[in-house]
Chain A
Amino acid sequence: MEHIVIIGNGISGVTLARQIRKLSDKKITIISSETEHFFSRTALMYIYMGHMTYEHTKPYEDWFWEKNRIELRNAYVKHIDTEYKNLKLADGGNLGYDKLVIATGSKPNKFGWPGQDLDGVQGLYSKQDADQLEITAPNNKVCKRAVIVGGGLIGIELAEMLNSRNIPVTFLVRESSFWDGVLPEVESQMINRHIKNHHIDLRLSSNLKEIKGDENGHVKSVIIEETGEELACDLVGLTAGVTPNINFLKGSKIETDKGVKVNAFLETNIKDVYAIGDCAEQQEPIGNRRPIEAVWYTGRMMGETLAQTICGNRLAYKPGHWFNSAKFLDIEYQTYGWVFGRKGRPDYEQHFHWKHEDDTKCITIAYHKQTNEFLGINTFGIRMKHEVFDKWLTEKRDVDYVMQHLKSANFDPEFYTHYEKEILATYKKNLEPSTF
C-alpha cells in the first residue's frame, strides 16, 4: 500500500489527508510537533479571550483519526532524504514514505530588530504561541502594557485579545493608516477610528527601533524609531507578517526560495514530493495572486486539489475568484474579486465608496475605468453572498448591473436594516446623468 506522509497538521495537511481517505485506501501518516490533534488555528484568539476552550477548536473528535485510518505522529522532522525517501526525526527515529507532502505553514517574521529574541517577545501563530501568551500576559497585573508591532490581521486580533483582559495595548503600525497596503484609504481610516474607539493606543507611521531587556533577559521596553520615545512594556507582539516555516529543508535537495517552490500541480523539483499551504511558493503567480498565499482558504483548496493528484487524477491548483474575510474587532470584513489599496492598484481600477454615517459599515466596489467591468467588492459590516459574487465575476458583469442587483447578494441576518437603496442612490448621484 502506498504510504503518504504529510508534514504538518494544519488545515492544508489535514484537508489533504481527509480527501485522500475519501478517494482511496492509501496509508496516511500526519506528522506534527505542534499538537497531537488537528485544531483550528483561526480560533486561537478565542481560547485566550475565554470564548472557547482548546477542545472546542478541534473540528473532529479524537476518535475520528483512528476510525479513518489516519495515523498521527507527534514528532519533528529534522532532515529529508529524498533519494532514499526517508525522514529523519528529531527523536532519532526514521520514517519512510512513498509520497511526501510538506505542509508546515508559517512562522512569524522577525526583521532583525535588536532584542527580538528576548523573553516576552513573541508572535501569534502556533498553539505554543498562545500558551506562551497565557504565561506572559495572563492579566494586567503581570503584563502592565503590551506593544504590538505590525499592522496586519494577526496584529489586530492580538490587540483585541489583550484588550479583552484589560491590558493596555500600544499598536505600532509602520504605514500611515492601518492595513492600507491592502485596504482602500476610506476603509483603512474607518478601521483606524474603530481601533481607537476600543481604547487601543494606535500609533501610525511608527516603526520599532529596538526592544530593550532587563537583567533577566525579559523585555522591558521598546523604542520607537520616529520619536525616540521609550515605552515600558511586558509583552511585545511581533505581527509583521509571516514567512514559510521551512528551515528544516536546508540540506535537502528540495528547491526553496522564500517557500518551497512548486509548479501548478503543487509538485516540487523532486518527484513524489509536494508542498501545499502557507509554505508553498508558486513558480508562476496565478492571476493577481502573490506567489505565497498565507491564507486559510487557499491552504484548504490546495489540500483538496493535491488529493486529486495523489489519487491519480492529476489536477492543477486553480483557485477561482479571490475571496477573503476577517473581523476587525467588531466589524466584519469580506472581499470578493480584487479591490486594491493605494499600493499596486492598476491604472484602470476605479472605486465607488459608500460609508454609513455610524462609521462601522462601508463598501467599496472596484470596476474598470473604460469597460465598466466589475472587478471586486470590499464590504464592512454588511454580509454578502460568496456564491453570487463568484457568479458575477465569472460572468464579467458590469458595475451598473452589480449595483442594481446588490440586494440579491445580501447575506445579513433576517430583520437587519438594508442599505442597498442608499448605496444605489449614492452611486447614481456620483455618476454623470447620462449614464442613467
Chain B
Amino acid sequence: MNSPKPSMSLTKPEAFDLTLKQRISTAIGLIGLFILVLATCNVNFPNKPVFLALSLIMISVGVIVFANDMYLGKLEGIKNDGVMFKSISSRGLWAWISGIAFTGFYILLYFKAEWLGLGVDGAANTGLVALFDPLSRLLNGGQASQWFVYGTLYTIAILAFGYKFLLKYRHNRYERLRTFSVMFFQLAFAFLIPEFMARLNSDSFSLPYYDLKNIWPLNYYNFEQYRVNSMIEAGDIGLALLIFGILSIFVITPILTFKYGKRWYCSWVCGCGGLAETAGDSFRHLSDKRQVAWKIERWVVHSVVVFVTLMTTAVVYSYLGDDSSKYWLTKNTFLMSVAVLLTVVFALVMIFKHEQLAKDAKYGAIGYFVIIMVLIGMHYFNGSNLFLVKAESLRQFYGFLIGAIFSGVIGTGFYPIFGNRVWCRFGCPMAAILGFQQRLFSRFRITTNGGQCISCGNCSTYCEMGIDVRAYAQKGENIVRSSCVGCGICSAVCPRGVLKLENDNMKGRINSNDILLGNDVDLMDLVNQK
C-alpha cells in the first residue's frame, strides 16, 4: 500500500546496474543538457543554431539509445525489472538530486526568467533563452521567451521519452496508439500551431497564444479581458476561437467524456498528461496509495475547481459593463447565469445521481454550493467588492499558487519523489471536472474478469493516480472512479489478464458483486438465508 522505502542504492543487486551502452547514452544525454547549463551560465556559443541543435539532438539520442538497449534485446512484454532497486525510481539519491534540479529549473522559469537570460523590457536575450532565439525566429518570427525554451524542451521530452514508452509497451496496441496521440498533440497543437498562429499576427491583427487543446479551467486565463478582447478584435477567426473555447467546456467535453471517459483528454490529448505518461513513466509506482491520500485528494482537487470557478467568474465579471442597452451581457446577467447554471448542475446531480455519491462527497457538494451561492448573493444584494477580494488579486493568487507552484514546481519537478501524476491527481481542476462527469455519466469503466484476480497488486502499484485497483479486482467489481485517467497500465501489468478498459452502456456499469466468485452458489438463496 505504501510506496517504496528510499533506497540509497548501496545494496542494490548488481544485475540491475546500467550496462555500458546505457552509461554511454546517459553521458551523451547529459552532455546535451550540459550545453544548456553552460548557456545558462552565459557561455556565449559562437554558432547558436549549431549548438542548440547539437544539444537537443544529443539529449534525444541519449534517451533513444538508452531505451533501445533497455528493451530491444528482450522479448516483448512487461519488463519492470529492477524498478524498486534503481536509485532514480525508488526515491534514492538520484531521485532527490534530479527532483531538486528540476524544481530549481521550474523556479527560475516561473519567477526568475531573467536569470535564464530573458531580455527584460525589450532588451535582447542572453544566456539560455538566447540560445533558443534562432529556433524561435524560424517558427514564429520573433525572439524566444522563457516559455518558448520550456515548450521546446517539454516537446523534446515527450517525443524522446514517448519513444522509450513505445518500446517498453510495444506488445500493447492501446498503449502505442495512446502514446502516438500524446506525442502528436504536443508537437502539433501545443508547440507548432500556436507558434505559426503567432506568425500571422501583425499590427492590425492579433491572436492570443492559444493551445487549442487546452480547455478551461486548465487554461484558467482563457477568459481574461486581454484575451477575450484580442480574440474579438481579431474578427471571425478570433470569434471562432472564443466560441470554440466556450463550446469545448459545455458541449464537446461532456459528450466525449460520456462516450469514452475522461481518458480521451487526460491520457490521449493533454500535455500535462503527456509528460506524465512519457517522461514520468518511470515514476508511476511512486504515487501514494494510502486511503488517507485518497481522502486528501478528493478535498484538494475539488477545492481547486471551486476556486477556479469563483476566480474566473470574478475576472469575467470585473470587465463586464452595467448598461444592458450597450451589450446584452452585463454584470448582472452574467452573475445570474452563473448562479443558475451552478444551481441546475447541483440540482440535477442531487436529484438523479445522489445515490452514487459517497456521504462526504454529498456534504462537500452541499457545502461548496452554499458558499458560492452566499458569495454571489452577497454581492448581488450588497454590491460590495466581488467575493470580498479583488478579482485581480484572486487571479494572481491562483496563478501563483496553482498555476505555477502546484502544476509546475511540485507537479513536475517532484516526479521522482511523489510520482508522475501529482498535479493531475491533486491539483488539476480540468481533471476534477472531467472526473465528475466520468463518475456520473460515462460509458467508460474498467471491467474485471470474474474470479481470476490473484491480488498480486501489480495494478495498484503501477496506478499513477494512486487508485487501489486491486481492492476492486479482488472483489470482481467494475472500477468507476473519477480519478481514473484510463492510461491502461493496470490492464497491461496484470499477469492474469483481469482488467480491461471498456466503453459500454451505462446499465450495469457500477456492480458490486462482492460474492463468492467461482463458487457454485445460488446467490438469491444465499441472500434470502441471511
Contact = CB atoms under 8 A, between A and B. Distances in A.
Please classify how large the interface on chain A is, using the bins under 10, 10 to 19, 20 to 34, 35 or more: 35 or more
A399 B496 CA distance: 25
Given A59-B455, A138-B13, A332-B495, A52 B461 contact: yes
B519 to A, nearest CB: 5
Contact of B80 (A50, A140, A416): A50
B137 interface: no
Given A139-B14, A386-B449, A411-B449, A50 B81 contact: yes
Given A167-B15, A318-B519, A414-B501, A332 B496 contact: yes
Interface string A379-398: 00001011100100000000
Interface string B175-204: 001000000000000000000000000000
Interface string A297-331: 10011001100100001010111110101110110
A313 B488 CA distance: 41
Given A40-B457, A313-B530, A334-B452, A325 B520 contact: no
A58 interface: yes
A195 to B, nearest CB: 11
Contact of A327 (B173, B455, B492, B495): B495
A50 B518 contact: no
A283 interface: no
Nearest to B515: A304
Contact of A51 (B3, B458, B492): B458
Nearest to B476: A386
A165 B291 contact: no
A51 B84 contact: yes
Interface in B438-461: 449-452, 454-458, 460-461
Given A323-B518, A327-B496, A413-B491, A57 B456 contact: yes
Given A61-B291, A386-B450, A51 B519 contact: no
Contact of B519 (A40, A60, A141, A301): A301
Contacts of B457: 40, 43, 52, 56-59
Contact of A318 (B83, B449, B501, B521): B521
Contacts of A385: 449-450
B82 interface: yes
Given A56-B461, A319-B518, A330-B75, A386 B452 contact: yes
A159 interface: no
A42 interface: yes
Interface in A39-94: 40, 42-43, 46-47, 49-53, 55-62
Contact of B500 (A53, A305, A383, A387): A383
B456 to A, nearest CB: 4
A17 interface: no
Contacts of A417: 173
A55 B501 contact: no
A146 to B, nearest CB: 13
A165 B13 contact: yes
Nearest to B530: A313
Tell me if A's interface is mostly helix, strand, loop or mixed.
loop
Interface residues of B, number: 60
A320 B520 contact: yes
B470 A51 contact: no
B5 A53 contact: yes
B76 interface: yes
A392 to B, nearest CB: 13
Interface in B1-43: 1-5, 13-16
B519 A334 contact: no
A277 to B, nearest CB: 14
Contacts of B4: 53, 55-56
A164 interface: yes
B452 A415 contact: no
Contact of A323 (B177, B452, B456, B470): B452
A413 B530 contact: no
Interface string A395-407: 0000000000000
A349 to B, nearest CB: 22
A42 B454 contact: yes
A198 B81 CA distance: 14
**Residue of A46, A197, A297, A319 with highest tally of chain B CB at under 10 A:** A46
Contacts of A198: 75
B516 interface: yes
8 contacts: A43-B458, A52-B457, A59-B457, A318-B519, A318-B521, A334-B452, A411-B449, A411-B497
Q: 9 nearest interchain CB pairs?
A: A386-B450, A330-B77, A165-B15, A383-B497, A320-B520, A43-B456, A50-B82, A415-B173, A51-B80
Given A49-B82, A165-B15, 15 more contacts: A50-B13, A52-B461, A59-B474, A165-B13, A297-B454, A313-B529, A318-B519, A320-B519, A334-B497, A386-B451, A390-B450, A413-B172, A413-B173, A413-B492, A415-B173
Interface of A: 11, 23, 40, 42-43, 46-47, 49-53, 55-62, 138-141, 164-167, 197-198, 296-297, 300-301, 304-305, 308, 313, 315, 317-321, 323, 325-327, 329-330, 332, 334, 383, 385-387, 390, 411-417
Interface of B: 1-5, 13-16, 75-78, 80-86, 171-174, 177, 285, 290-291, 449-452, 454-458, 460-461, 470-471, 474, 488, 491-492, 495-497, 500-502, 516-521, 526, 529-530
